[in-house]
Amino acid sequence: MATIVVRLNGTNENPFAKWGLNQNPFPQIPKAEYSEACLRMQSLGGEPIPNVEHIRKTLEGFTPEFVNLCCRMFKRGMYVTFTVEWPD
């Protein structure tokens, strides 16, 4: 099983700003072909998300099921973390 941790920043602050970063700079899946997608997903845990449409635009190209899950889990004013698993 492959596992990733999804973080959605519904707050008004970027938790990585104290280190001068916009987001977590390290991809979760250590394969070059996934690094761009990982970093796009991880950007949702950095700078505050203005709306659900921002999630849809950021995750363009991901499966509709994953995008819809992220949209459902997003909570304005909260920093939401959840784990997603799928077969290799």
Structure confidence at residue 80 as a pLDDT band (50, 70, 90): very high
Domain that holds residue 22: 2-86
Residue that is written with structure tokens 């990585």 in the block: 16
Indicate if the pLDDT at residue 15 is higher than 80: yes
Q: Can you give the pTM of this predicted structure?
A: 0.91
Q: Give the count of domains, the chain.
A: 1
- Confidence (pLDDT) at 31: 82
Q: What is each CA distance from 84 to 1, 3, 19, 49, 77, in whole angstroms?
A: 10, 6, 27, 20, 22
**Which residues, at least 6 apart from 71, have a Cβ–Cβ distance to it below 8 Å?**
52, 55, 56
Distance between CA 15 and CA 78 in Å, rounded?
Answer: 12
- Confidence (pLDDT) at 29: 80
- Region of 77 on the Ramachandran plot (φ > 0 left; ψ -120 to 50 alpha; else beta): left
What proportion of the chain, given as a percentage, has pLDDT over 70?
100
